[in-house]
Amino acid sequence: MNKHKMITEKGVPSNSRVLMLFGQLEKLNRESMLVDPEIARQITAKILHLIQTQEKTRKEIVSKGSSGMEVILATLENTQDLQSILNILYILNELLTVGGGRRIGVFVSKGGTGILLQLVISASKESPPSEEVMLQLHSVLAKVGPKDRKFGVKARLNGALNVTVNLLKQNLQNYKLLLPCLLVLQVYSSNTVNAVSLGKNGVVELMFKIIGPYSKKNTSLLKVSLDTLGALLKSKTNAQRAVVHVPILLHIYQDWHRNDTRHRHILIRKGILGCLKNITNIKLGRKAFIDADGMRILYNTSTECLPVRTLDPLINTSSLIMRKCFPKNRLPLPTIKSVFHHQLLRVPAGGPVAQLYNQPLGRGPIYQFYTKPPWVDDVVDESDNNEDAEAENDMENEVEEKDHHAGNDDIETDINKLRPKETHSRPFEELKIYERFFMELSEDFQVFNFDNPKKGVTATPAAPKSHRPIVVPTAQALPPKNPTAAPLQGECPHPAPVPALDLDTINITKDQDGCGDHTHSRPHPGAGLEQELVQGLEQVALDGAGPQGGGGGGNKHNRQPPILAGGVAARLGGEGEEMLAEDWAEEEESSEEGVLHVPDTALLLPLHDPDLYVEMVKSTSSVPQFSEVAYPDYFGHVAPTSREHILERVYGVQSPLPPFRTKIFQDIERLIHPNDILDKVVYDLDIQSCPVVDGGESLKFNSQFESGNLRKAVQIRKFEYDLVLNSDINSNHYHQWFYFEVSGMRVGAPYRFNIINCEKSNSQFNYGMQVLMYSVQEAISGRPRWVRTGTDICYYKNHFSRSSIAAGGQKGKSYYTMTFSMTFNHKDDVCYFAYHYPYTYSTLKMHLQKLEALRTPQTYLREDILCETLGGNSCPLLTITAMPESTSNDQICQFRNRPLVFLSSRVHPGETNASWVMKGTLEFLMGSSPLAHSLREAYIFKIVPMLNPDGVVNGNHRCSLSGEDLNRQWQNPSPELHPTIYHTKSLLQYLAAIQRAPLVFCDYHGHSRKKNVFMYGCSLKETVWETNISATSCELHEDLGYRTLPKILSQMAPAFSMASCSFVVERSKEATARVVVWREIGVQRSYTMESTLCGCDQGKYKGLQIGTRELEEMGAQFCVALLRLKRLTSPLKLRNHAHLLDVESDLTETRCKGSSTPSTYLLEDEEASFMEEVDYSAESGDEPDNDPNTADPHDNHLSDSESNNHRDSLT
């Protein structure tokens, strides 16, 4: 009866033979094995036979509802018979070998681990211990251990750990028993305390007695030994013990590499590298590796492995070890602080700028403005610090994104801080001075001339223009034919002197009928602003005196060859006629001027005028006192008609397997073969005698023009250069923006450029983004444009160490390298490279003047000077709306009561795409289309198109001249240190005080680590949803209209992604514009609009890099979205478009899908980076694109109508 009761479980057949045997075994257990042990042996033997011969029997034992496992474990715990124990261990080995983790999980849940470990102790007390029992016990433990999270703790507490170690020591030649013991030891070592204990017990030294050189015997044992040793060496203490064995490991690796020609033992070779990788996590290990010539050994072996793709795991681990052991170096700079310095009248009370100013001065003339000596501010850390963590997370570009599912501690949890302030922080009397910026709110137009409306709208006078000489770097003198004496070692040769050319001497000449040059006097400034350039080529004539040039008209001037900066041959005469420098030397010396053809872009670029641009440069103030104009800014940029695709990842360059191996190995060659490295400084802003001019063996660099940024260039190999970027002024970091000139190149040569002091841990350069290049030869041939270029682009951690000061107090941080290769197509070209499409402050001023010229009588446009910056530049404030149709009361009332829209841009100088979006917005607003007119009638626009002119002018990436991020100063801006933010916020405070707060506030930005265009907004409800705050429904009540504008944009703008938008408020963003305007000014629709620097992975532009055409289109689309917002929110239209305003379902759906990704504050990323893993799945092309608007991927060219009239499509 009892037997029947036990075996008739649910789902188990009662007539099963094995269950009958289990019933008998259970009966024996109840009788405490008082019967003859032979019975137990027979029963267990029969069960073993059934298990070995019938798979069905195995399933029955571990099936749900079966008590077979409990019976087996109870028998093993109670029996003292050796053969019965062996039979049960055989049974367990059979059961757990097949069936995977589920069967082992059942075994662990029944307490099997403890029974086995106790049996190990019992068996060890036998004299001598049974070898077979120990063998089987450890075989089972090796299977069970990895599935039991407390396995190591259990083994240490009951003493089984020491039993295994003693067994190992006594059986070094018994390979049969050694293997399972090592497997168990490997599991023990996964526990840190166990690993340290095993190291003290001599197990590390014991492992080196087992591993050895190449042998075809016992390869499984060797592989397990290496894995066990690798697990032990994860402990720093054990790694220190193994330092003396580094040469042995390298010798063993070489031996296996040499003899394993058929690559059958890759896992053994990988195990050896794994041990080296763990040892080199400590400083002593890295030193031992270098001393043992490990760099050369791993470099040579890895190089031989490169042709075999299956050996990638070995190459990856080898490169990781070599990069980790590469000696940490300082940047090749006297100090990491900016070359340029702007003395602040008032130093901030705290923060990094205060730290810089409070340090003692360095010594020598170079450091007269620096506040901390170079030997202090950029030292290499002399301790291990966080290097273990750095080594483990060295898959470079995924470090930041791995924890994106973790909770976000940065989300604001104080509901009081998430509610708008009810009281204003400044008295109204103090704000009344800003009334003059809102004349339109009180204008009665009684004295306004409607017949000539342009005379009725005045602007604040611009600042007086500077009269310092400005050089357009054209027609430079050729280097002398006789070579100069070689410079002394360590000195920078002096360049040939080039006389500064005053822009007032530049004449615009037109080549008519190919008859040669015609010199004209310059018209009075401003008289020719609206003059259109003739279609075809134009020439800029540079009148400059030669070395002996006098002031008399009869004196002859030495004629300069037609060589542009860097050696570009200028075109002369009619179309198609060229004259090279050699021909020019043969010309008679009577001619007095060099000429440069300027492409006619008047039709394609209505807002660009080279002559006007030069005038704008004259009134621009810069800390370095720039005196040159870059070609791209002078010529202008016409968006290319061809589509520029996002680069696919190339195996060996950006593919995770192997990571960046080609570039990495080229860097490692520098240490392996130092004699091949030139290490020649060719450009250095820290030394006034640079840039270097030599006999043409090196490229020439220049960055001394508006928005330029390149501090130093070092020639490493014949065609390879290391480039160092300049820090933001009054700062010691923020290295990302670059803009520099290159000349003296050879056609077809494979140049490589390495920007070696980048700071961000990841970049879109790893995911298809290319650098931008502007070729002067292409420009004078009629193609003046920035184009995406560069091959073998990747971004990775390098061996240059960041000081704790520059890393925000964090030690052990490294810089990153952005590298790309380039082949030039034109001889004697001058090329410019930039991080993104440059947009200078002088360009903005030129565009604003041209917009004024394009104003129609129906447009109300006023330009005021909001304030002056620290650097002496003016910050423009624009007011744009529609003129009233008449002076009637109704018209004036409607004019004054239009809702306001407040827009700002370019608070971060390196985010030039924000200015291109703003350009699109301004052009649309000033356009003559019916949509533009309707938009002006709907709103009054207040626009600050450039919040940080000083940063833009001086080539900063993020800061103003105060050395601070202006978008972190909105809570309490200083009128002395942050004037543009202070006065912009004051404008908004004034509007709030008079009950005219803007309907929409939007700050334009650029994003460096995500694709598409998207918005950040502010929502109490969505912020609370991301936290564990308990709040009542009344506390979470808010109007959901903040989602309307982004949703409209997602439906009409192909580059906009609603999925990337976020409306969560974070603590680290509480001083940003959007949060302060939302909370303090009470603007519900307060946004940051982020535009990608890379491209799109959705919609019409999927797979394409973003260009100025798309950015300007985005600015225009934003305007159209505002017009639709106005129409949708009007009472008459509300019912017909309720689907756009009903966003409660969107919120719920978004939350259910988990698309709200937590964000973490990054100092160097605006509003950003949700610490999310950037989704690049769309790049693989696996998912079909069903978007009907998606362009044909084979159609690489836009039509002319698309190129010239893309804005018209918006209507």
Structure tokens at 817: 């390298």
Question: Distance (Å, rounded) from C-alpha 631 to C-alpha 773?
Answer: 12
Answer yes or no: are the C-beta atoms of 846 and 612 closer than 8 Å: yes
**DSSP letters of 737-787?**
--EEEEESPPBT-EEEEEEEEE--S--GGGGT--EEEEEHHHHHTT---EE
Dihedral of the alpha carbons of 389, 395, 396, 399, in degrees to the nearest 10: -60
DSSP character for 457? Answer: -
The gap between the terminal CA atoms of the chain, to the nearest Å, is 89
Structure tokens at 741: 């000139």
What's the 3-state SS for 235-275? CHHHHHHHHHHHHHHHHHHHHHHHHCCCCCCHHHHHHHHHH
Altogether, the residues listed in the chain come to a count of: 1211
Element (H, E) at 687: none
Element (H, E) at 509: strand 506-509
> Is 577 a known active-site residue?
no
Question: Distance (Å, rounded) from C-alpha 579 to C-alpha 517?
Answer: 14
Answer yes or no: are the C-beta atoms of 1142 and 376 closer than 8 Å: no
| 766-784 per-residue burial string, b: 16 or more CB within 10 A, e: under 16 | bbbbbbbbbbbbbbbeeeb
Strand bridging mode 720-724 / 750-758: parallel
User: Closest Cα to residue 1175, out of 1105, 1099, 1097, 1104?
Assistant: 1097
**DSSP letters of 1049-1112?**
HHHH-TTB-GGG-B---BGGGTTSHHHHIIIII--SEEEEEEEESSBBSSGGGBTBB--HHHHH
| 491-to-486, 682, 695, 696, 964 alpha-carbon distances in Å | 10, 11, 16, 18, 35
What's the 3-state SS for 1126-1180? HHHCCHHHHHHHHHHHCCHHHHHHHHHHCCCCCCCCCCCCCCCCCCCCCCCHHHH
User: Closest Cα to residue 84, out of 42, 31, 22, 35?
Assistant: 42
What type of residue sits at position 1019? S
Question: Distance (Å, rounded) from C-alpha 38 to C-alpha 44?
Answer: 10
Q: Region of 539 please: left (phi>0), alpha (psi -120 to 50) or beta.
A: beta
Q: Which of helix, strand or coil describes residue 834? A: strand
Given 1090, 1164, 1166, 1179, which residue is catalytic? Answer: 1090
Answer yes or no: are the C-beta atoms of 751 and 715 closer than 8 Å: no
Question: Distance (Å, rounded) from C-alpha 740 to C-alpha 712?
Answer: 11
Structure tokens at 941: 């626009």
Beta bridge partners of 1062: 1016
What type of residue sits at position 46? K
Question: Distance (Å, rounded) from C-alpha 178 to C-alpha 222?
Answer: 10
Question: Distance (Å, rounded) from C-alpha 210 to C-alpha 217?
Answer: 13
Structure tokens at 369: 């403005």
Q: Region of 734 please: left (phi>0), alpha (psi -120 to 50) or beta.
A: left
Answer yes or no: are the C-beta atoms of 234 and 240 closer than 8 Å: no
| 393-to-64, 145, 315, 387, 1204 alpha-carbon distances in Å | 42, 26, 17, 10, 49
Structure tokens at 409: 């501690």
DSSP character for 885? Answer: S
Which residues belong to the active site?
Answer: 1090
